[in-house]
Structure formats: structure tokens, C-alpha cells
Structure 1
């Protein structure tokens, strides 16, 4: 047997395997003799058929089976001996006009495409700078949140005369195109100038305005219209009022406190405000943690300069998912897949180099945390804790054990990111929620 590596580029190669008769024939002969001992062929007693006859019947299939077995084992062993990290799976090269004559051919040549990376290097020290974002929950955000909660829990009414902040239900009509649509207009989502035309009016009133009075984003946010509908609603417009909807804000009383946080959790306005702020801070701490980690992953990925065998991986994804994805699907999703793959390579490299390992106890703890978050607003806290072990066990056994493996990977990723933050120059930066939203939009 001859195995060789023919590098096509820095990250793609061909593995060439040449088999001679001596590589496979002894195994084929041994298997045929074993078949002969067990074969039940018409005209012969069981196990008494001549080996030559068994060979005529089963010889080709046994030959194919043995060669495939030798190829698989040889290929895997050869890859294990290499210093590079193979990606995906080897792809058999399908040559034109290269059919195999299994009856007479003695020597066989096979080729496999492979994609790989080698020499992964990640320098993490105090020269590597990163930012840990911390979102500050200020009084303004707390007040806005409380007002939203009061509105969500308030009572709906249909007053005779409209006021600022109401929702106006009616028919929008474009004079020129004849386009019409029945909708609910949120007066808080349009300009104050335009909203003024809709305040102090009653049912059956007709409001006239022009499409240029509406800003681009407001068509969707306030009118709930699609781009196609907006194109038809140009020029002079009329809005015929059918109804006025208003939500009267809930009062800050015990009923409201219990509705938001559960019975008896808070009992005074001061406690309620503090609980809102605490909840907001907890939620934004999670969001800022995720954002910080994603930014660190992006920076580390760029610094590692890993060159993926893109052409090979795209071909492998198509062939591995034959009939399930198209070439267009792969092209569209590949950038996301590539980023995830690069980070996975880096994460595994850092874990190996620094002996970072996810333990079973870590998996259990993280799964419990996930389940508690899912049940957080259900009010079933104590009952859930009593059955926690059962919930954890059922989840981790789900998807034929894949849930466990996914959680194991997640735990390792958490530990790797914690290691990264401990070993680089990480500066904390406090930002407002508005600044955070601006960062997300970049």
C-alpha cells in the first residue's frame, strides 16, 4: 500500500492511496473460506460448497467490502499521524471514465480531497486589549419601564374625543391611487405636528394630510404598513376615524405590584421601584456579558488569522447534506458557518493548550440555571426545584444525547472565555442603554 499527500494549496490537499493485491487478497480469501463454512447453497449440504463456487457468488461483494474497510482504516490512521487539523470529512474524488473492473483489476488507485488548518496560534497576554461593557440602569430608564408596565396593565377605554398618546382606528385612503387600508394609528409613533391633527377629534372625523408628513420609519412603526403599501399611499391622504382607543395607566397599588412580580414580593412603591431597577440591571448585565464576549471572540478571531479552505468546505457541506441544501443555501449561510467554525477551532485550541475542561458537574449546574430561567416567570419556583433532577435528566437525554454534548460545548466555551478575560488587558466601560443600542447597530 502506498499513501501520499499532494498539497494543492495552504489548506487543501489530495490524499492518494494505491492498493496492491497483497494488501487486500489475504483478507478476501480468509473471508471467502469463512463464507464457505457457513454458506447454504442449493445442491450442497450447508458448509460443503466449493470455495471456488462461493467466490463466484460472493467474491466481488467481499472484495469491495474489504477494500472499503482497508481504505477507511488507512485513511483515518494516516490523518491521525498528520500535524494539521482536518475539517469536515475527506471527499472521494470522482473521476470521469474511471470505472473499476472488480473482476480482473489487481491494483486500485483512490484519491480523497481534504481541507485543513495548521499552526493555530493565539497570543493572549496583557498586550491584548479588550473592553468589558457594563450598562448603567439610570432613573430615566426605570421611569420609562414603570410607565410601560402601567400601560400594559391598564384598562382600555373608548373616549369620545382623542388625546395625545391614543390609538386611532380607522380607514387610510390615498386620493390619487385609491389605495385604502383599515388600521390602528399609534399617535406616539408619529411627529408631534402630525399627531396634533389627530387630537381633539371624534368618531367619523376625516383627517387630511400628505404622505410627506410621515417619516420613512413611521410607516411601519405607527401605521403598520409594508413597503409595497407605502408605495401606493403617496400624495394626498385622508384618515376616517372609526374609533378611539385609550389605555388608562394602572395605579401603583398592591394589585399592580403583585401582577408584575407575584404576590407579596414587594409591598411599597419604593420597594417596587427598587425591584424594577434590580430586574432591569440583571437583564442588561446578561446582555452586556453576551455582547462583551461576542466582541472578544471577534477580536481574537481576527488576530488568529485562520485561513479556512472555503471551496472545500462549501463542497463538503453540499455533499454531506445532499438533497437538503442547495448551492445557493450554502453560499448564503457560509459566512456565519465560517465564523462559528473559526471560533470553535480557537476555543478548542485554547482549551487543549491550557487544560481547560468541562466537567459533568458543570453541565448539570448550567442546565439547572437554564431551566430556572425558563420557569422564572411561571410562579412554580418551589415545585420546579422539587423536580429539578428529573427536568435536568430528561433534557440532557433529549435528542439522543445531543443536548448533553451541546451543553458540554457551551460549558467549555464559558470557561475559555473566562480564561481569556483573566489573561488580557480588559478595561470596564460603563455605557447607557442608548449607547448600547448604538453599538448593536454598528
Structure 2
């Protein structure tokens, strides 16, 4: 076998492969013998079909299959052994392949066009500084969060007169019809222009109003009348509503019952401790967003500081071919910049992984999946062996699910791999830390 790489430029090359009988004949002969033992042909006992007949019937197809398999393995192995930074797939010369005379040739020549990324290196000492933002929760954020929690864990109270956000209970009657029902009107589902007819009313008061004006949305009208949505469309005109009761959501009081509902029984004992926990929760929530912003900034710095040339014409043609008519050349051009950024970033990350000898094993992927299962199902980490075995079984089943061709494992592996590369990069560039308020951080995110 003769393999030759010819580079036309830093980003374009051709790989030429010449096969002789010594390369493929042993495996072809072996498969012909296997066919001879297995083939069943009328007039011959199993295993006694003449070799010449087997050759005539199956020789060409076996030869073609074997050479195609050999080419695929050879090209992949050559790229790996020579550490070629190939982008896209090797494209075979189809005219050359179509011209082969499989009946008479014994030597076969093939060529592939390769798209290559130009050579590059990464010097962490030359990279600009990136900033890791530590989000500080001020009084405004803490008070707002506590107020939201008080609304979420609200209590119910009976009111003397109707307010904007109340729910009113009573009897609804059609003025010129037979419809009547005991029902409830959530004021927050009522049209704003109709609320004035109800706000300020007390128990026993009767309001006359036009139903479709108060509840123009048919779903809200169905909810207010207690009928199906399709029936609510026919309920129109004047109705009366006699107020029997008024309920109102009251924010939960800052007491031990509220603290226990939010954080769990006995987690805190007073308002001061509760506020401290709320600050921790706010910071924890924003830490994930801060980490994501840092990741994006690191990736941008790596891209901006690492010039890489790509075979643009080759890649555009390859994208058109592999997408089989799903995109036009114009659409490829529109999306090409984003595509090349993704390609370059992956090349850079692969280079970092190679320099740092970053690898991911199955146990690491499994650990991340176990944690995902705990979070998804609310399982706490602990020493409960039965629970740990259940988590492990769910995680393994998820990763090894054959229905999606290993995509669950691949996507989780890639996430772990990517995280390790980013973590290593952080250790090399040491991001500068900066305290920011929640509002300042939000502004940073919007500007990105």
C-alpha cells in the first residue's frame, strides 16, 4: 500500500492511496472461502460449490466491499497517526472511482480531497485577562426575593370589600335567560375596564354587567362561569352577580412557620438567619449565570487570540453536500461565520486537551449522570445504599440507552470533556475577580 499526502496550501491537501493485490487479496480470499462453505446453490451440496463459481457469483462484490472498508480504515488511521487537523470529511474523487474496471484491474488508485486547519498554538501567557464576576446581593434584591417568597407562600383572608386582586364568590344569573350558577370570579382574569364595577363592592351587593365585556377571553369566561370553553362562547349579554364572599391573598408573615415552609423545618430560627440564607440562595443562583458568562468570555478570548485559517471553499461545498439540499448556497453563506467559529473553537479546545493530556473516562461520565438523576428526582446524596443503587441503575440505563444510538452518553461525555478543558484554562489564565451588584451583572449579560 502506498499513501501520499500532497499539500496544495496550508488548508487544502489531497491524500492518494494505491492498493495492490498484496493489500487486499488475503482478506478477499478468506471471505470467498467463507462464502463457499455457507452458500447454498441448487445442484451442489452445501460447502461443495466450486471456488470458480463462487468467485464468478460473489467475487466482485466481495472485492468492492473489502476495498471500501480498507479505504475507510486507512484514511482514518492516516489522519490520526499524522495528527492532521482535518475539518469536514475527506471527499473522495468520484470520477476516479467510477472509472475503475473491477473485472480486470488488480492495482487500484484512489484520492481524497482534505480540508485542513492551518497550524496554530496556544500560549496562555499571551491571552488577555478575563473577569470572573462575584455577584453581591444588596438589600433591594434580598427584600424583593423575600417579598416574592411571601407572595408564593401566601395565606387566605376574608375581605370586607372587593379589591383588584381578590377572588369573589357568589351567584351569577343571566338577566334575559335561564343560566345561573354559583361561581367564583378571579379579579386578575377580568378585563381592566370592567373591574371598576366590582371593586369596592361588599357582601350582599349585586352587580349588573355585560359578561363578554368583563371576560372577553373565552377561556377566562369558561373559568368564571364553570362551563366548557365551547359553551362559554354562547354566554353573552347582561348578567347579575351577587357577592357572597371575598377572599384575598395575604403575604405570609415573617415567622417560624414561613421560615420552615421555605427552607425546611428548623433550618433557621429568626429573621436575621433567614435573610442570610436568602443571600446565599441568591448568590448560588447567580453563580451559575456568572460561571456561564465566564465560560463565554474565555471562549471569546481563545477565539480572538488564536488565528486559524480554514478551507472556506472546501467547507462550503462540503456543507452543501452533506446537508443534501436542505440549504441553498446563500443560506450556507449566511450561517458560515457561526459555523467556522464553532469549528475553530473545537479545534482550540482539542489542542488544549492534547497539551494538558485531558481525558474523560466512563466513571466520570457516570458520576455526572448520577448527579443529574439526583437533581432531577430530588434524591439527596447520602449513605443510603439502596438509594445509591437505584440512582446508579437509572444513570447507567440513561447512558447506555440503545434507542438513541448512544447519544445520551456522547452528549454527557462531551459536556464533561468541555468542562475539564474550561477548568484547565481557568487554572492557566487565573481570571480577575470583580464584585458586582445584581443590576450591574444583568447589564453585563445584556451587553454580551
**TM-score (norm. length: structure 1):** 0.70
Q: Look up the match of 2:287.
A: 285
Q: Does 1:415 align with 2:417?
A: no
Q: Look up the match of 1:343.
A: 345
1:299 to 301, 312, 333: 301
Distance 1:10 1:397, change over 3 A: farther
Measure the CA separation in 2 of the matches of 1:333 and 1:156. 54
1:430 Cα deviation after fit? 0.9
Measure the CA separation in 1 of the matches of 2:95 and 2:156. 72
1:142 Cα deviation after fit? 0.4
Alpha-carbon displacement from aligned partner over 1:395-438 (angstroms, at most 9, x marks no partner) = 14424265455444434433332332232252111111111111
1:429 to 425, 431, 434: 434
Q: Does 1:61 align with 2:61?
A: yes
SS in 2 for 1:391: helix
Alpha-carbon displacement from aligned partner over 1:110-149 (angstroms, at most 9, x marks no partner) = 3333333242311102763111111111111000011111
SS in 1 for 2:3: strand
Distance 1:136 1:92, change over 3 A: same
SS in 2 for 1:41: coil
1:336 Cα deviation after fit? 5.6
Measure the CA separation in 2 of the matches of 1:49 and 1:361. 51
Alpha-carbon displacement from aligned partner over 1:195-227 (angstroms, at most 9, x marks no partner) = xx9997877899xxxxxxxxxxxxxxxxxxxxx
Measure the CA separation in 1 of the matches of 2:333 and 2:258. 51
Deviating more after overlay: 100-109 vs 417-426: 100-109
**TM-score (norm. length: structure 2):** 0.69
8 Å contact kept, 1:20–1:107: yes
8 Å contact kept, 1:2–1:17: yes
2:272 to 270, 273, 277: 270
Measure the CA separation in 2 of the matches of 1:9 and 1:199. 79
1:103 Cα deviation after fit? 2.9
Measure the CA separation in 2 of the matches of 1:430 and 1:333. 37
The gaps in structure 2 that reach 5 residues or longer are 169-185, 202-206, 211-240, 401-405
Q: Look up the match of 1:438.
A: 443
1:383 Cα deviation after fit? 9.1
Measure the CA separation in 2 of the matches of 1:85 and 1:317. 18
Distance 1:381 1:395, change over 3 A: closer
Deviating more after overlay: 293-302 vs 37-46: 37-46
TM-align CA RMSD: 4.5
Measure the CA separation in 2 of the matches of 1:88 and 1:387. 45
Deviating more after overlay: 334-343 vs 70-79: 334-343
8 Å contact kept, 2:374–2:391: no
The gaps in structure 1 that reach 5 residues or longer are 170-182, 207-241
SS in 2 for 1:252: coil
Measure the CA separation in 2 of the matches of 1:246 and 1:336. 52
Q: Alignment length, in residue pairs? A: 385
1:304 Cα deviation after fit? 1.5
Measure the CA separation in 2 of the matches of 1:92 and 1:184. 69
Measure the CA separation in 2 of the matches of 1:308 and 1:198. 69
Alpha-carbon displacement from aligned partner over 1:307-362 (angstroms, at most 9, x marks no partner) = 3445555665666676xx92269778766655444333322322221233445664
SS in 2 for 1:5: strand
Deviating more after overlay: 113-122 vs 366-375: 366-375
Measure the CA separation in 1 of the matches of 2:305 and 2:65. 46
Q: Look up the match of 2:238.
A: none
Tell which structure's C-alpha radius of gyration is larger: 2
Distance 1:309 1:153, change over 3 A: farther
